Chains A and B, each alone.
Chain A
Amino acid sequence: MAEPILQQSRNIIEQQAYNRRMTWFVMSAVVLLFAFLGLGFDYFYLGVFDDGLFSFPIVTICAIVFSIIFAYSTLQQGASVVLQSTKAIPADRQNTDHQQLLNVVKEMSLASGLPMPKVYIIPDNDPNAFATGKDPQHSYVAVTQGLLSMLNREELQGVVAHEMSHIRYHDIRLMTIVAAFVGAIVLLSDVALRGMRYGFGGKVGKSKNKNSLGLVVLILWVITLILAPIITRLMAMMISRKREYLADASAAELTRNPVALAKALQKLENASEPTASIKRGIAHLCVVDPIGKAVNEKEGFWAELFSTHPPMKKRIMLLNAMAYIKSNGIKNAT
């Protein structure tokens, strides 16, 4: 008994440290990206670096200041923004369904030795769930109405344990920040590209025959603008995929009942239609991909690269393997 748990707790500390490093990395990457985009704006639209004269790179400075403020406020407020975007409401003890959910969350907070997260209900009939927050002391678990009505108590416990594991490993802060950045960068590059199309800068037209270096930089800048949303989204997907296996395993450790989570995942997979109230940008926070069945079922390198979650069959198989059940990926979900 002792060794696996010690092993596990060492892994938790490693994972937490890894998440802390990644949070810093993502935040500095975003500040750099904003600075780069701002620099390009100064150069091509405003012509700040023309003629060897020093002039003030106003947009760059603004971009850096803005991105730092943005990063800080995301760190503090990100969770409530994410919750608001799904129209989640706090769970109510008077409601029998909510009472059970609150009880199950309390059970899992005891099993993990963490403080009780705040519990929210998303008014959506598609089953899904996610966790968000700054740290275990300020954490939230949100569950859709559909999940509550579809799963029995054991299965609900499995899904809540999965979310609790994201809190336990400190995944939530990093994933919430990534969610906010994906949204912001998509918006930003959209604005910048649209601005370029209307060509309100004086420099874009003129710089063509000036020197080839300017042209190369311009192309690089445009490519960055186009690729930034894709790259950040790929990053979000990569960050989240690995975590799902870990959270599944840790959920099994908390409930000592991997089969219940496997059954729950099977039900979620069978039911999955796009979860309308969960926006694309926070897909990587959820227990199953809210976009639906088509994505969850694919396997192979490319399918995995473009999905926020590992293939469902693999997850179910691994969970069943923990309970010494041989399966071909599909267990009867009763």
Chain B
Amino acid sequence: MLFYIIAAIIILLFFVVIGIYNSLISVRNQVRNAWRQIDVQLKRRHDLIPNLVNAVKGQMEFEKSTLESVVQARAAAINAKGISDSIAKEEMLSSALSKLLAVVENYPNLKSNEQVKQLMEELTTTENQITFARQFYNDITTTYNTKLEKFPTNLFASALGFELSPLFQIENAAEREVPKVDLSIKK
């Protein structure tokens, strides 16, 4: 009799673990997909930057250092290794870019240039897409991490090979003070 009860409990536990495992897998895949979405946008930004720099270079003789810092930040971001390194480097690229966008605002003939306008819109949307992709990544990662840390999942999650996923956050205090720029092109 006792044997049957124990067997029933073990079978029940087995199914509970299968259920938890499957739900963790589906959320983890969402997290990975969200991460890939960010990657796609970052790649897009890397591709856009040379075009923008070329378009504004001629008329921004006095702002060489701003342009150079963007180009350098891009190179650093492309060569970053690992998630946390790439998060930090991309943050630097973001702040360099927002400085450039703020500076472009001071050049009326640049702003009215049709090609620059289109590039600015593309860059604005890329920045936004990165932000929103990260926002979604953080949301879904929070859901995933919360699941992992809750009882009873926390007892065997690491044994099944699930690890907490890192969140995007700004580590450097200076980067919190990104200049506020109104990028709306339309009036």
Q: By DSSP majority rule, is chain A's interface helix, strand, loop, or mixed?
A: helix
The residue of chain A having its C-beta at the shortest distance from the C-beta of B125 within the complex is A103
Q: Cβ of A157: which chain B residues have Cβ within 8 Å of it?
A: 128
Q: By DSSP majority rule, is chain B's interface helix, strand, loop, or mixed?
A: helix
The CA of A64 and the CA of B183, in the complex, are separated in Å by: 56
The residue of chain A having its C-beta at the shortest distance from the C-beta of B128 within the complex is A107
Q: Which of B75-83, B139-147, B151-159 contacts A (4 or more CB under 8 A)?
A: B139-147
B69 sits at the interface (CB 8 A): no
A86 sits at the interface (CB 8 A): no
The CA of A327 and the CA of B138, in the complex, are separated in Å by: 32
Q: Cβ of A6: which chain B residues have Cβ within 8 Å of it?
A: 143, 146
The CA of A144 and the CA of B41, in the complex, are separated in Å by: 28
The CA of A254 and the CA of B128, in the complex, are separated in Å by: 12
Q: Cβ of A108: which chain B residues have Cβ within 8 Å of it?
A: 132
1/0 per residue B96-127: CB within 8 Å of A?
00000000000000000000011001101100
**Contact across chains for A107 and B186 when beta carbons are under 8 A apart:** no
Q: Cβ of B30: which chain A residues have Cβ within 8 Å of it?
A: 113
The CA of A49 and the CA of B100, in the complex, are separated in Å by: 82
**Contact across chains for B118 and A99 when beta carbons are under 8 A apart:** yes
Q: Cβ of B132: which chain A residues have Cβ within 8 Å of it?
A: 107-108, 110-111, 254
Of A9, A96, A110, A152, which is within 8 A of B143 by CB?
A9
The residue of chain B having its C-beta at the shortest distance from the C-beta of A152 within the complex is B184
Of A97, A106, A152, A154, which is within 8 A of B125 by CB?
A106
**Contact across chains for B125 and A104 when beta carbons are under 8 A apart:** yes
**Contact across chains for A5 and B142 when beta carbons are under 8 A apart:** yes
**Contact across chains for A110 and B125 when beta carbons are under 8 A apart:** no
Q: Cβ of A9: which chain B residues have Cβ within 8 Å of it?
A: 143
B129 sits at the interface (CB 8 A): yes
**Contact across chains for A5 and B143 when beta carbons are under 8 A apart:** yes
B20 sits at the interface (CB 8 A): no
The CA of A154 and the CA of B185, in the complex, are separated in Å by: 11
Q: Which residues A141-193 have CB closer than 8 A to chain B?
A: 152-154, 157
Of B122, B125, B183, B185, which is within 8 A of A107 by CB?
B125
**A interface vs B, CB < 8 Å?**
1-2, 5-6, 9, 96-97, 99-100, 103-104, 106-108, 110-113, 152-154, 157, 254, 256
